[in-house]
């Protein structure tokens, strides 16, 4: 039991890394299925369009899906265009606050598309097809050999012997793609390490307080979800019983729209105020007013 608890604690502590790893593995598996089953290079003048479509279009779709499944996206945008009198609670007040909110969202949404591109480049099928149809590649490989060479170049992804002839003295498309894939992975990892170090260096609070903030945010979200379901169930039961039994229900407190707006924007911790969320801040200020 203690060992299981240690495993659960480890998973909770490294939840973000494990989540990104799972997303990357699923994306890599999807890319393998696409390249093995769906992708068939036409080996004609449409090579470049077809190859880059498989390389970039799924990555773009995954990027959009990353935004759509991220709760912070809807937390940030819901009601911002219509609630004029609540503009003071908008997170768009300063560029620094905007970056604090948007950068993590973009980073999380980029995990799947960058994984797709990196794995696709290592597999080389998409790049090989696209590069064989590129006019720049045609100029590089067929400087003095005319139209016939360019036509043969388009058929390289479909003919291994022809590919060997074209790349006997030059770096093959397969090797170019894999080099690009490894460079992309190296750039991503370097960027992650540097950005993490910079964000921690400029953190307004110490490591332990930041850890407490992360734990508190997760627990508050879990408890808020449980309480919301219970509140909705009780309210629905009261109204349903009142409708069928023709009885006036007792007063049932529900937060006002103003109160919901007060706690509904995204919150970033700072060293000036001892709060870990807008709910924490609202409850504390309400408690101060009642005193």
pLDDT top residue among 61 and 269:
61
pLDDT at 152: 82
Answer whether residue 97 shows pLDDT above 70.
Answer: no
Mean pLDDT of all residues belonging to the chain: 82
Q: What is the dihedral of CA 167, 171, 174, 177, to 10 degrees?
A: -150
User: Average pLDDT for residues 42-47, to the nearest whole number?
Assistant: 89
Domain range list for the chain? 39-74+95-202
In this prediction, residue 91 has a pLDDT band, given cuts at 50, 70 and 90, of: very low
In this prediction, residue 231 has a pLDDT band, given cuts at 50, 70 and 90, of: very high
* pLDDT > 90 fraction of the chain, expressed in percent and rounded: 27
In this prediction, residue 87 has a pLDDT band, given cuts at 50, 70 and 90, of: very low
* pLDDT > 70 fraction of the chain, expressed in percent and rounded: 83
Answer whether residue 100 shows pLDDT above 90.
Answer: no
Answer whether residue 63 shows pLDDT above 90.
Answer: yes
When mean pLDDT is compared over 3-12, 163-172, 274-283, the highest value belongs to 274-283
pLDDT at 190: 95
pLDDT tens profile 236-250: 999 998 888 877 778
pLDDT tens profile 176-222: 899 999 999 999 999 989 988 988 898 888 989 988 998 999 899 99
User: Average pLDDT for residues 77-102, to the nearest whole number?
Assistant: 61
């Amino acid at each position: 039991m203690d060992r299981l608890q240690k495993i659960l604690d480890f998973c909770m502590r490294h939840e973000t890394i494990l989540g990104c790893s799972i997303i990357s593995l699923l994306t890599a598996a999807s890319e393998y299925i696409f390249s093995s089953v769906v992708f068939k290079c036409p080996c004609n003048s449409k090579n470049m369009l077809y190859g880059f479509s498989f390389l970039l279009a799924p990555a773009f779709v995954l990027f959009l899906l990353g935004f759509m499944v991220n709760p912070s996206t809807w937390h940030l945008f819901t009601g911002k265009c219509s609630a004029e009198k609540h503009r003071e609670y908008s997170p768009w007040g300063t560029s620094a606050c905007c970056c604090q909110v948007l950068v993590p969202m973009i980073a999380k949404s980029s995990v799947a598309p960058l994984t797709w591109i990196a794995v696709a480049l290592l597999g080389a099928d998409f790049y090989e097809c696209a590069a064989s149809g590129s006019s720049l590649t045609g100029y590089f490989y067929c400087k003095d050999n005319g139209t016939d060479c360019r036509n043969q170049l388009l058929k390289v992804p479909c003919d291994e012997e022809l590919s060997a002839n074209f790349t006997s003295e030059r770096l093959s498309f397969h090797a170019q793609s894999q080099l690009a894939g490894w460079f992309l992975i190296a750039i991503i990892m370097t960027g992650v390490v540097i950005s993490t170090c910079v964000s921690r260096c400029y953190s307004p609070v110490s490591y332990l307080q930041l850890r407490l903030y992360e734990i508190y945010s997760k627990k508050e979200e879990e408890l808020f979800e449980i309480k919301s379901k219970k509140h909705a169930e009780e309210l629905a039961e009261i109204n349903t019983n009142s409708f069928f039994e023709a009885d006036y229900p007792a007063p049932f407190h529900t937060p006002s729209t103003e109160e919901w707006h007060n706690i509904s924007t995204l919150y970033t911790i700072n060293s000036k105020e001892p709060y870990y969320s807008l709910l924490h801040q609202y409850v504390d200020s309400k408690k101060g007013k009642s005193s």
